[in-house]
Chain A
Amino acid sequence: MSERLASCRCGQLRAMAEGDPVRISICHCLACQKRTGSALAAQARWEKECVQVEGRSKQWVRTADSGQQTAYHFCPECGSTVHYSGGNFPDLIAIPLGALDDPYFECIDASVWERRKHPWVELLGDDIQHRE
């Protein structure tokens, strides 16, 4: 079975995910832009039992306008978020795509919060579900 390794930029916090992700998505919302510092966030999600985490992390919980909570785990030494869970997918663990040692996938499944999409970003793929 395939596996993907994720780590923070100093390497002490790691996650290993087994098998193919359930969902690969892009989020353009302002909270995701703030978390990544980028123009969008990209993440892959696995069932919780498929992900093993090692190393020290600090948790930061964000409560959305809807009241839903998401718990983000970042390395206290270098600040990288390596995994998070909660929100719309309580049974899944999300790993930021860029945290993966091999972040490349053939395609993405969904692009959400497109009302916040930067006009200079284009996502390619006929099968992407787009949501405003």
Chain B
Amino acid sequence: METAHTASCRCGQLSATVTGDPIRVSVCHCLNCQKRSGSAFAAQARWPADRVVIEGRSNSFEMVGDSGGRATFHFCPECGSDVYYDNNGRADDQVAIPLGAFDDPFFLTPNYSVYEGRKHGWLEIEGEHVEHFE
């Protein structure tokens, strides 16, 4: 049987449970991802939408990226944590989950590090299997 992993907000009322392997695990250094995370970069993994089960209440916010892509972020109205997001129009059949939202965030490592032109000078993303993109 495939292992399930659960992501949740800080107060715990909103959760996403995934089954099976992700399609892609990536780190993004772009300014939009820095703003949404509040961190120096964002880390996320994407699954086929039919492998993700959402429970709880969420508010959503749509953002348009520099490249014109749209994404809808779903966050907990009580504590503000993003628990999942959709890439509208580009990958409607996928759901992305911020790595840090997982109760165990250590079960995945990134394969891609993108927008490194915006990477902070004091940070490196390590790993021989990581592909780096400017």
What is the interface of chain A, defined by CB distance below 8 A to chain B?
7-10, 26, 30-43, 58, 60, 62, 72, 74-81, 96-99, 103-108, 118-125, 128
CB < 8 Å: which of A36, A78, A99 contacts B100? A36
In the complex, A37 Cα to B30 Cα: how many Å?
Answer: 15
Tell me whether B37 and A37 are in contact (CB under 8 A).
Answer: yes
Beta-carbon contact of B40 and A40 below 8 Å: yes
**Beta-carbon nearest neighbor of B123 in chain A:** A123
Q: Which of B27, B61, B130 contacts A10 (CB 8 A)?
A: B61
Contact in complex: A38, B41 (CB < 8 Å)? yes
B23 close to A (CB within 8 Å): no
Whether B123 lies near A58 (C-beta < 8 A) is no
- A-B pair count, CB < 8 Å, reads 158
Chain B interface residue count, Cβ-Cβ cutoff 8 angstroms = 48
What residues of chain B have their CB less than 8 Å away from a CB belonging to chain A?
Answer: 8-11, 27, 31-44, 59, 61, 63, 73, 75-82, 98-101, 105-106, 109-110, 120-127, 130
A33 to B8, CA, bound (A): 11
B37 and A34 contact, CB distance less than 8 A: no
Bound-state Cα–Cα, A86 to B102, Å: 25
CB-based contact A37/B100 at 8 Å: yes
Contact B100 A34 (CB under 8 A): yes
Query: Cβ of A76: which chain B residues have Cβ within 8 Å of it?
Result: 59, 77
CB distance B11 to A119 under 8 Å? no
Q: How far is the CA of A48 from the CA of B100 in the complex (A)?
A: 28
